[in-house]
Structure 1
Amino acid sequence: MNPSVVEAAPPAAEPVVRRPSLAGRTRAGLDAALAEIGVPEKERRMRVGQLWNWIYHYGVRDFQEMTTIGKGLRAQLAEHFSLDLPEVTAEQVSSDGTRKWLLRMAPTGPRDRGAEIECVYIPEVDRGTLCVSSQVGCTLTCTFCHTGTQRLVRNLTTEEIVTQLMVARDRLGDFPNRSAPDGAFVPNDGGRFVSNIVFMGMGEPLYNFDGVRDAIGVITDDQGLSLGRRRITVSTSGVVPQIGPLGDEMGTMLAISLHAVRDDLRNELVPLNRKYPIKDLLDACRNYPGLSNAKRITFEYVMLKGVNDSDAEARELVRLLKGIPAKINLIPFNPWPGTKYECSDWERIERFSEIVFRAGYASPVRTPRGRDILAACGQLKSETEKLSARARLMLEQGEVDAAAAAH
């Protein structure tokens, strides 16, 4: 399968402020919406439960399909609210099946065209992983990461995080009893295509703590989207004060973007290290609530040629992580236009992995996915709409390389 771009409808010339959507809201948010249109308090809990089931379990997009709710209330809801999801303005499909969606959020005012973010779906034999974003842009400026070259615009709301999963399920035909949209990639083995979520898209999740926490509450509710907390991984570059609260309040799996074993190098690669150095970060990891061999921390380590990939650094990594139940995820560097880094040679990655493995740590090498559509780790940047006509043609012909597909 050649990589391809599927364009959605062009944006309207004049942005229109739509009716507020109920999709992505918490139970408290749905209750507030019902109160707004005059539903009595004693009735609202039942109505929230009904809305929750229709929106999150069945994924309906029309209030008239909510047959357990009276016609009068359905009409009221439709008059004041919508069930709109973010607009898919572009969909790119990699040669390996990875899909990247450019999503435009609902405008917040007459001059707002809506913030844009990217999320990525990665199909595998035993799972389907959705990589979601938590911010528009990023504030951390990690030097090896393409997303870090895009300035931070704002945090995503709880609704905007939740609806990334809803868009994915909609595009993949993954809601029960609903016809898949045209072009949907529907599973043929009866399995759910989105089984895991990683907060590894645009932004630093722990700098949007409340939004991420509340979104995880919606996503894991067993009456709706119903993903287990151990199927959700929150990745952080090392916001130390929020690591403990993450475990206490969200209970998800934790991933640490480590990438270096010395403070001087990590200060360059991950500038946040100047505020929270390696020792403080690893102390927070050792105290992560629920940490055990059954709930290990994943340490992400991008392999940069001649920068952080020596045998000595592999041995130091093992020493640093001693006593922490951990998995070390080695990530071949994914190139992007303008980067100064190169990916380590495969033989060097294998040697590094062998040293770590012999010390007793699982050290899988992450298979690069979606490189040809800039959907791989560290490549996301919400400017896909600026792909040139030449780059689009090359995508269709399967000839894209990182330079030709420059955002």
Structure 2
Amino acid sequence: MPVDQTPLVRIENLRVEFRGDDGPIVGVEDVSFSIAPGETVCVVGESGSGKSVTSLSLMRLVEFGGGRITAGSLGFSLNGSQIDLARAESGTMQTIRGDEIGMIFQEPMTSLNPVFSIERQMTDGLRIHRGLSRSAARARALELLRQVRIPEPERRLKQYPHELSGGMRQRVVIAMAMACEPRLLIADEPTTALDVTIQAEILALIDRLKRDTGMAVLFITHDMAVVAQMADRVVVMYRGKLVEEGPVERIFADPQEDYTRKLLAAVPRLGEMRGKSAPEPMRLVGERVPTVAAVPTDADVKPLLQVKNLTTRYPVKGGLFRRTIANVHAVEDVSFDIPRGQTLALVGESGCGKSSCGRSILRLSEATSGQVLLDQTDILSLSSRDLRRRVWHDVQMVFQDPFASLNPHMRL
């Protein structure tokens, strides 16, 4: 940060505690760093290191999760003077959130209200903070959806969060955070749910807005490649404490702390396979390789899972009586096999049907046609009882959104 530039954000000796059964639990302790206008500071560290707690403290949202700022200050430059966000009135914070400070939350389903349409959620903030008319706010919302590469933005505005893919929901959250062109953008793992092509475009969009408007960015990530691309400075956290801070070039070239070195060493390099060494080269003698045997004719070579011509379409309802007026082709004529002991990677950009395919295999979304054979048993033709007894204890799914997968009213 240039010495003659006043910081936009100055965090000093921040300490955050959470209520615990056996007393307070310290989430962040004695954390200090600053962010200048037009600067990107990346906060890195393993899960539970205090990255998100630090960012939520700046928005004073940590209090809604049972946290409490017990020490330190959160200086923020507002109208030519520094105010302490840690002690600001609730009315002041309501004005700052979404206008002066925008935040891209990590979990899009918990960021979006399930009972409001995308249009309602995007335009409310624009009308409150920018005083736009309904039509002007809608036009701005459409512009933002196009910027984050959401197809058919007019139709998406009318939809609800559950009708969008995880990647599309994340892009809506990104658009909402940038809607009022905040002076500070907090991005908490903003590209986790996005494919690499969309991720690159979103990162370029954030960087362009930073250069055009002088917006500062607090970027929280575990992806060191993103850090190398985006950061001006890096803050490394571990167990709620700041362990190292410095320019991105110095952190990557000459890390001072052992934990930082371990973080960088954990980044997989191109051509490496974690946990495995490269195999010895096979030495060929003559024209034949006698050590490579043919598969026995009596071997079991049937795939464990066969997907044949799987098609899943979702109805689009409209009109006074909510009749089906169209269909969304989520999965169309997809076929593949998975042999026993093998891993199949299903890749593609956000909204291409990857998750819909997985959900259709488990009958969490009903397929329109096709076959899904598990050990030669067609899952799609089973009754609900047989599905529970014969399939769901053998086939498990790790869902994309942990907050939507875990019941908040029950202990782990």
| TM-score by shorter chain over 0.5 | no
- Give the TM-score normalised by the residue count of structure 1: 0.28
Return the index of the structure with the highest Cα Rg.
Answer: 2
**Greater strand content:** 2
TM score, norm. by length of structure 2 = 0.28
